[in-house]
Amino acid sequence: MTSKPIILFVINSLAGGGAERVLTTILNASGRWTARYDLHLALLDQEPAAYHPLAHVTMHQLDARHRLGPSIVQLRRLVRRLRPAATLSFLTRANVANAVAMFGSGRPWLISERVNTSAHLGHGRAAAVAHAMVRLAYPRATHVIAVSEGVVEDLTRNFGVTRSRITAIANPVDHDRITALAAEPPEVAVTADDVVAAGRLVPAKNFAMLLTAFAASGVSGRLVLMGEGPERAALEALAQQLGIAERVLMPGFVANPFAVLSRARLFAMSSNAEGFPNGLVEAMACGLPVIATNCASGPSEILARTSREAVAGTCQVEAGTLVPAGDVDAFAAALRGVYDSPGRAAMGRAALARSLDYGVERATIEYWRRIEAVLPTPADARVSAATLIPQSETM
């Protein structure tokens, strides 16, 4: 089929979401590696795509219909046909399918864990089965790429993955794209008095706590909550109960959130759990000061440059404030403090400066460094990732 080794990437779909955006960003920035490798992408489910890889990526559309069994069968069939030199998968179902599909092939397979796995899988009978599958599959991966040190810690402590086989690579932020989109007219009427939050309306994001803290904060602007999900009705009812319904705008999914973010006063992240909070860094890339919960995983590494455990209570940071997860009073106080702070503009500048540490080029190079490290190809015949990292970039 080809004289170049095939690197096969695997994900559930490109229907939208942080992992899908990150994988597409990495693939689209990988043009220089096509001199040595053929890049292929397998999509397990047939869903409308929100992101589109460039022409240097060969696509394979499977039809697993969101089920693990068909994902394994169809991916294994594709692996046997393509005989990839290595595979790299994103998201839990794709990771487990990758493990089974590559079993016995004698070739390396990598997985990328996008979430704090313990928090994401939850509890109950179905969660117990999922935990068991992850414990069986993940420790056998040739290498695991996690999105934060908090996720690394969770995988080693709770899922038996050897620490030396895990690398933390933060998600990339495409600053050029964000700058261009931020200049467009916003879909939502937003002003410099508004607080903005974004994410799926699900319990893990704890938007109920955010509404309660916003009501208690006494800030004068509105809360613009971008996102859609099963908790919409409950959140709308809570806003009515708190007497702030007229000051809470819930526009649903916003195609260009950056045009909204760039015009707001500050960004609020209330999550109970994250893998790596893309929305937080993207808001920072728009020059917004931020208030974030010190949840697992990622916010403390981004804002305080340290582990979650090293931060006690409320922590003032250059870009805003880090508060304990689930603490309504602390979050309300942080909202008031940042909202009215005379140093708010300086916080926004610090937020933008910190976001630059999460550039696309660095993340792409680090991903390929991990892929090439497990390939049998002689090192001198590969693209030397180490020489490609700009000397000016620091983590």
Kindly report, residue by residue over 238-254, the tens digit of the pLDDT. 999 999 999 999 999 89
pLDDT digits (tens, 9 = 90+) for 94-144: 999 999 999 999 999 999 987 665 655 556 676 677 778 888 999 999 999
Domain 6-171+359-385 identical in fold to domain 175-356 = yes
Q: Comparing C-alpha atoms, which of 271, 272, 254, 273 is closest to residue 263?
A: 254
Distance CA 23, CA 15 (A): 12
Cα distances from 72 to residues 63, 95, 143, in angstroms, run 11, 10, 20
Note the pLDDT of residue 389. 40
Pair type for strands 290-293 and 266-269: parallel
Cα distances from 383 to residues 53, 378, 387, in angstroms, run 21, 11, 9
Query: Cβ(215)–Cβ(333) under 8 Å?
Result: no
Note the pLDDT of residue 386. 42
Note the pLDDT of residue 395. 32
Choice between 317 and 121, residue whose per-residue pLDDT is larger: 317
Asked whether residue 21 carries a pLDDT value surpassing 70, the answer given is yes
Across 277-291, average pLDDT: 95
Q: At 390, is the pLDDT very low, low, confident or very high (cuts 50, 70, 90)?
A: very low
Helix (H, G, I), strand (E, B) or coil at 64: coil
Helix residue spans in 286-343 (DSSP H): 299-303, 328-340
Structural domain spans, the chain: 6-171+359-385, 175-356
Distance CA 290, CA 284 (A): 7
Query: CATH number of the domain at 175-356, please?
Result: 3.40.50.2000
Note the pLDDT of residue 385. 44
Across 335-347, average pLDDT: 97
Report percent pLDDT > 90 for the chain: 77
Note the pLDDT of residue 126. 67
Note the pLDDT of residue 43. 98
Distance CA 139, CA 156 (A): 9
Note the pLDDT of residue 276. 84
Q: At 311, is the pLDDT very low, low, confident or very high (cuts 50, 70, 90)?
A: very high
Q: Comparing C-alpha atoms, which of 261, 270, 260, 259 is closest to residue 299?
A: 270
Q: At 19, is the pLDDT very low, low, confident or very high (cuts 50, 70, 90)?
A: confident
Query: CATH number of the domain at 6-171+359-385, please?
Result: 3.40.50.2000
4-8, 209-213, 253-257 — which is least confidently predicted? 253-257
pTM of the complete model: 0.77
Q: Which amino acid is at 210?
A: L
Note the pLDDT of residue 67. 95
